Structure 1
């Protein structure tokens, strides 16, 4: 079959199944990316969540030996919640970043890509394809940039002319040699709004991210959150997207094109206190369908405690004391003690002192001491 016609047929079919953007790229080695990844590795800037070796992440033929082309797709997601619930003094809420609203995008994109895969194989029975979404070895953003989906912004996100950076990305490697699309020109110019807004300096320079300092990464860690980040995540339960919000390309961008990606207001902005006592079953029922659940409930409960401390929510003191006294997980007990100190009521300080007489975990005791330090600081003012 004529590959030019096949390419157009794939483009037409992609629209039928609700793919918002599609582009075609060569399967050549991503040489520039390979050098960047080596630099990131040497500097200790990687998150540790990356899959595969640098070679596997930059050489498509290692993933599909007969690779000739890569098809990149993008789906736009909403940036605003319709009828978003508001926090009240006695019922504070956290928030998931926009990329975790609606059904887990890995599931949604994989379904679209599998349909493309089936369509191509029906047209070309000998086609060999490999589907990947985020958790695959290839860099979705590098592929999308080469395929002309968008340009790589200074905030390291792919920015599309139509949807800003509020897009999910996925790709399909194939042995069919398609004519590649042209990459877009860089559109950031002299703008540095994302760099200026990054609260931790994780955006080292335009296009370079120290993932270890990125708050989106920090919200997903499972241990104690470092002190320097606790005051900066605010009420974020999962992820952090300020570097996208401030981008001029995202101003007034809000697309609601896919029902499955629509946020449930009470899931995207959950009440914080109920999260503290959630069972595994309740957690899976409430959050199991969204991308932000992949690390389990412990990081999210830890972040919920920090958010309650951020609000200095005195109505939560009794429940946080209960967590500090009875939770079997040291990270949660210790963060609860720290949060109590941050909230700073007399009852909270008394509870920390009492709990310290029974606590055996050294790290938890350190957190209790930090909590009590807030009282000393308050008295010194």
Structure 2
């Protein structure tokens, strides 16, 4: 078992406000747990607190039912992969992987050799074991860091934005390799990233951090389909969800940004609120100036689809819509924007007030 419990974990530097406030989570043995958020939200700080590299101000961290608040990193039975790879430039690939094992003083030379050789085989670096880090590509250096984590035989692995220095195509490949390796070894993997695509494609559960607080913990599907608030909804999805002000007219009929009216699936408990519409749910059609409620600003061609960015007539709000690649829209066209009823609703504090299917049936 390698379960990690975080209970009301806080971090404060000097007299500043808390970098992290009351972070509580349960990370199950063998799961891929991703901590995601924008720069400066405290995600790397939290990872380093779990590792023991940074002390905690308040709260409790437990690993396998043992409180580790005051334990040194070497006593927590975990390993860490850093963004910068943290390789020794003067050592070979083999010696970089072996370095931490040799430092333990309790492993035989044969045991060290066996672990290192197996780890290098697992990440497909056997043929490069005698090279120095400067002779490797970015992806190969990252594999060395992974091999070092594998060789340690720790059941908990922490990764701090390990793919951020790689190009887009290599990131995709390394995502797949890390996920496959985690599944093969049964590691409890805690992974920090600012990339929502990495989070959605790899995680069993995601923790979303913002403004020093946990905004939501859930599966990728829960995070995307049932975001706790406006921030979570906006953070996930490319392009981001469109958030528009709305006013209740009567029943389930609403006025969106004073540009168009639509029917939604539920009664709204407040008169003024916000509507979240994913770009793939936005409908646009050509319209003359009298009928139009928006005008196209830019268009991005993505192969099998286009993203149309348009400015609504009121409040200068920009909306994004995904359309087929063969559509004939062009910049500065006037258009009519509308949407179906598959939307999210947020109160003026940004809290999700959308009812789920069961609530709608029982309403």
Regarding TM over 0.5, the answer is no
Name the structure with the higher helix share. Answer: 1
TM-score range, shorter chain: under 0.3
Q: TM-score, normalised by structure 2?
A: 0.27
Question: Per chain length, whose mean CA-contact separation is higher, i.e. which structure has more relative contact order (CA < 8 Å, sep 6+)?
Answer: 1
